[in-house]
Amino acid sequence: PQTQVEYLGNVTECAMLLFIKEIERIDYMDIRKWKGETLQTNEETQDLPQKTANEQNELNKKEQNAELFPLDDAPENDLILIGILGIKDPVRFEVPDAIRDCHDAHIVVRMVTGDSLQTAIHIAKECGIYNPSKGIAMEGPQFRSLSEEDQLKILPKLQVLARSSPIDKHALVTGLQKLDHVVAVTGDGTNDAPALSKADVGFAMGITGTEVAKDAADIIITDDNFASIVKAVMWGRNVYDSIRKFLQFQLTVNIAAIVIAVTGAIFAITPLKAVQMLWVNLIMDTLAALALATEGPTKELLKRRPYGRTDSIICASMWRNILSCAIYQAVIIITLLFLWGEKNEFWTLEERPDLREIELCKLLQKKDEIFVTELFFPNGLCRRFLLSPTVAVFSKQHFSFIFNTFIFMQIFNWIPSRKCYNELNFFKGIMSDYIFQGIMGFVAGFQIFIMLFPGIRDAFSVIPLTKELWGFSFLFSVLIIPFRFFISLFFPKEDPFHGDQDSSEEK
């Protein structure tokens, strides 16, 4: 019985194996630099000697229109060329677009291959990697012959490294890192493991990659597609931006709340109660993270420079946004606290000689709609802070108004907090961000619920507001959006979306 032969590889490779099985051949040997194959036909046997690709390239360089003919050093004589079988591994259709996206993102893509220089240059041009007017293409032996100093000089322009060895790939990674570049390496073979380990980010092929390569890599590309690396870059930048958005919002609330709390402590006033601060903290942490960190990536992320290795996570434009919005909130709340409200009173001991310290202490007790706080008692048990001989009497509705305004300031501040840089359209993409819309609507609805329903209203120490106070509460809150717009317009800071500085990330 005939033995069943199983062929391994893709469809093209298996077809070649079937073809080779049907012919006789002389295997390639380094000494002879050629191999021969014999084809059986009905009339005669025909032999086809083959030179190595490098020797054939040398021949093509000497004679652009060279005729193909049997070589003289073939052991057979009177050979006739009847055809050439060529197999091309085409570039995936999505690779050129992915390369262009990398260039837009200021990411330099380099080709390191074992193919001949001419083949590597052809493929690199087809992909958009090699530009003869700007880049350098060279072979591994030539690269290895250079001193370390010379290697570092040519690395910024090196785009194609052909006939390379694993040592060349490792040296290339090491050199780029010495130039303070962030280096990402792709590989699938066991020999690629040292370079994958050395790189800042190692990408191993999930389908064709060996286990050694996968173990050495940081990320495994499950579909062996270069375009997947571009998606990984886009998602990575999106996660980084999401963290920045959250920190920008959180620091704004923290600074504003601290200023308000310190001001209250100085004047012995507590404009925000403990349970109210718990609600602010919930908005500031959990809900803000869900609202600002769930926006998906967009192509615009690939139009900016990469973040530097030592860049601060809070950049100059973020500090501008944080401080300006925090100052706006603190100034509005403090102004409302002392200069707003018909039922608020400020008087001194000289103006109320009928009251004694013990009587004032009784007034300090919480009443239905009145809060009283003292600042002047020199020896009494009710003294909180010795600052000035003034007693402040605030209406409970006034404190409710301040609490409601502060909460809605945070809700509307979510909108400009979606942008960390100099973007002026804060609403761009908001209609497709359903999680953001849902959380913003939930917080606004729950705040209205707190202010209107008696049971939960009592728990938060608030009373209903008049229509006028509701209107002013929304007005002072929504004004934070145009305020931030004019701050970004007239005080621009660094812009990561434009600039000519070299990329800090390499592939």
CATH number of the domain where residue 209 is located: 3.40.50.1000
The three-state secondary structure class of 349 is: coil
225 and 250 in a single domain? The answer is no
User: Burial level of 41, CB count in 10 A (0-12/13-18/19+)?
Assistant: exposed
Angle of helix 95-104 relative to helix 117-127, nearest 10 degrees, comes to: 70
Query: For residue 367, is pLDDT > 50?
Result: no
| Domain closes at, from 184, 209, 230 | 230
The pLDDT, as a whole number, for residue 63 is 43
pLDDT band at 257 (very low <50, low <70, confident <90, very high): very high
217 and 246 in a single domain? The answer is no
447 and 330 in a single domain? The answer is yes
- The predicted-structure confidence for 8-27, as pLDDT tens digits, reads as follows 776 767 777 777 666 655 55
377 is a domain residue: yes
pLDDT band at 385 (very low <50, low <70, confident <90, very high): very low
CATH number at residue 271: 1.20.1110.10
Q: How many domains does the chain have?
A: 3
Handedness of CA 450, 452, 457, 460 (dihedral sign): positive
286 is a domain residue: yes
Kindly report the length of the chain.
507
Mean local confidence (pLDDT), 168-191: 91
201 is a domain residue: yes
Write 257-260 long-range contacts (CB < 8 A, 24+). Answer: 259/326, 259/330, 259/334, 260/330, 260/333, 260/334, 260/406
62 is a domain residue: yes
Number of Cα atoms under 13 Å in the Cβ half of residue 406:
35
pLDDT band at 198 (very low <50, low <70, confident <90, very high): very high
280 and 141 in a single domain? The answer is no
220 and 246 in a single domain? The answer is no
Which has the higher per-residue pLDDT, 248 or 87?
248
Mean local confidence (pLDDT), 397-410: 91
Which has the higher per-residue pLDDT, 11 or 243?
243
371 and 467 in a single domain? The answer is yes
The pLDDT, as a whole number, for residue 378 is 40
The pLDDT, as a whole number, for residue 194 is 92
The pLDDT, as a whole number, for residue 24 is 54
| 388: its two tokens | 């000035």
Which has the higher per-residue pLDDT, 340 or 91?
91
506 is a domain residue: no
The answer for 4, left when phi > 0, alpha when psi is -120 to 50, beta otherwise, is beta
The pLDDT, as a whole number, for residue 484 is 94
| 336: its two tokens | 């409302």
Close Cβ partners of 423 (under 8 Å, ≥ 6 residues apart): 488
Model-level pTM?
A: 0.72
Cα(97)–Cα(94) distance, integer angstroms = 6
Query: Would you list the DSSP string of 433-493?
Result: -HHHHHHHHHHHHHHHHHHH-HHHHHHTT--PPPHHHHHHHHHHHHTHHHHHHHHHHHS--
| Domain closes at, from 44, 64, 87 | 87
User: Burial level of 225, CB count in 10 A (0-12/13-18/19+)?
Assistant: middle
160 and 248 in a single domain? The answer is no
- The predicted-structure confidence for 286-306, as pLDDT tens digits, reads as follows 888 888 888 888 888 888 888
339 is a domain residue: yes
226 and 283 in a single domain? The answer is no
Mean local confidence (pLDDT), 56-61: 51
pLDDT band at 382 (very low <50, low <70, confident <90, very high): very low
Mean local confidence (pLDDT), 98-103: 92
68 and 158 in a single domain? The answer is no
The pLDDT, as a whole number, for residue 77 is 64
pLDDT band at 429 (very low <50, low <70, confident <90, very high): confident
Mean local confidence (pLDDT), 159-187: 92
Residue span of the structural domain in which 51 resides: 20-87
226 is a domain residue: yes
- The predicted-structure confidence for 39-58, as pLDDT tens digits, reads as follows 555 544 444 444 455 555 55
Query: For residue 391, is pLDDT > 70?
Result: no
| Domain closes at, from 230, 264, 287 | 230
The pLDDT, as a whole number, for residue 7 is 75
Query: Which of 238, 306, 241 has its CA nearest to residue 497?
Result: 306
Which has the higher per-residue pLDDT, 47 or 144?
144
278 and 380 in a single domain? The answer is yes
Average pLDDT, the chain: 78
Query: For residue 88, is pLDDT > 80?
Result: no
Buried b / exposed e across 385-406, counting CB within 10 Å, b at 16+?
eeeeebbbebbbbbbbbbbbbb
Cα(248)–Cα(146) distance, integer angstroms = 48
Query: For residue 493, is pLDDT > 80?
Result: no
313 is a domain residue: yes
- The predicted-structure confidence for 431-473, as pLDDT tens digits, reads as follows 888 999 999 999 999 999 999 998 888 888 888 888 999 999 9
140 and 262 in a single domain? The answer is no
Cβ atoms of residues 91 and 126 within 8 Å: yes
Mean local confidence (pLDDT), 227-246: 92
223 and 241 in a single domain? The answer is no
pLDDT band at 130 (very low <50, low <70, confident <90, very high): very high
